[in-house]
Amino acid sequence: MTRELIDSHAHLNDPAFSPDLPEVLSRLKEAGVQTVINVGYDLRSSREAVVQAHNWPFLKAAVAVHPHEAASFDEEGARVIRALALDRVVVAVGETGLDYYRNLSPRRKQEEVFRWHLNLARQLNLPVIVHDREAHKDVLRILRQEADGLPGGVMHCFSGTWEMARPFLDLGFYISLAGPVTFKNAENLREVAAKIPLEKLLIETDAPYLTPVPYRGQRNEPANLRFVAEAVAGARGIPVEEVIEATAHNARTLFRL
């Protein structure tokens, strides 16, 4: 297995990894994962992503407040995220977006915070990592309104159909596929994997979540990224090495690695 795998989205800053992070990092290197984009989702995890990226150079940080936490986002939170985003190890603003599945924050507040992060990304010339769960129409509307001057981005852990993916591609966004593309009932995601232009595809684990087959039900980690690559390759009918090479190139391009 070539050592060019790049995990475009994981949460090694999550408490789930506190007991054995060094072992997790060792396994990902053994599995051929070259770089991990370590993504913040609140103030604590964003700070931790930056600290970890300074400690381990193969980790890069993204910082933001997730829509679940939008209700508590205030001027102090904005100051912290802005300051963190200026650090040299930060390669993206994210993850930010809308989540209408759990609705843990009011939708109006989610939109306000989403737009704030998009504006920060524009000001700092950083790509944006977008979370979209059952909020497709509003996420697309906001991105269309905010697209001018936005330096690119990715629809993280895409869960929609090919028809839903196309408007994001039209905006220049990348589409990232995760463990669910390996699930038995995920024909819609395998269709996306088959049809998306290879130059607009990323792969991720979203660790510790969304563990791919054959380890579904266990804690996920970046070492499992190869299973996502294999599922995408199978859907496209191409060698897995081609998927690994293309997605690594795309990640380096988007995040300027």
Average pLDDT over every residue of 128-151 = 96
Average pLDDT over every residue of 110-134 = 97
Confidence of residue 146 (pLDDT cuts 50, 70, 90): very high
pLDDT at position 112 is 98
pLDDT at position 3 is 58
pLDDT at position 222 is 98
pLDDT at position 103 is 87
pLDDT digits (tens, 9 = 90+) for 204-235: 999 999 999 999 999 999 999 999 999 999 99
The pTM of this model reads: 0.96
Could you give the C-alpha distances from 36 to 107, 143, 193, 251, in angstroms and in order? 31, 25, 21, 10
Average pLDDT over every residue of 153-179 = 97
Q: What share of the chain is helix, strand, coil (3-state, %, to 5)?
A: 50, 15, 35
pLDDT digits (tens, 9 = 90+) for 45-58: 999 999 999 999 99
- Among residues of the chain, what percentage have pLDDT more than 70? 99
Question: In the structure encoding, which two tokens stand for residue 219, read together?
Answer: 């804690």
Longest dimension (CA), the chain: 49
> In the chain, which ranges are E strands?
5-10, 33-39, 59-63, 90-99, 128-133, 153-155, 174-177, 201-203
Tell me the C-alpha distance between 31 and 151, whole Å: 31
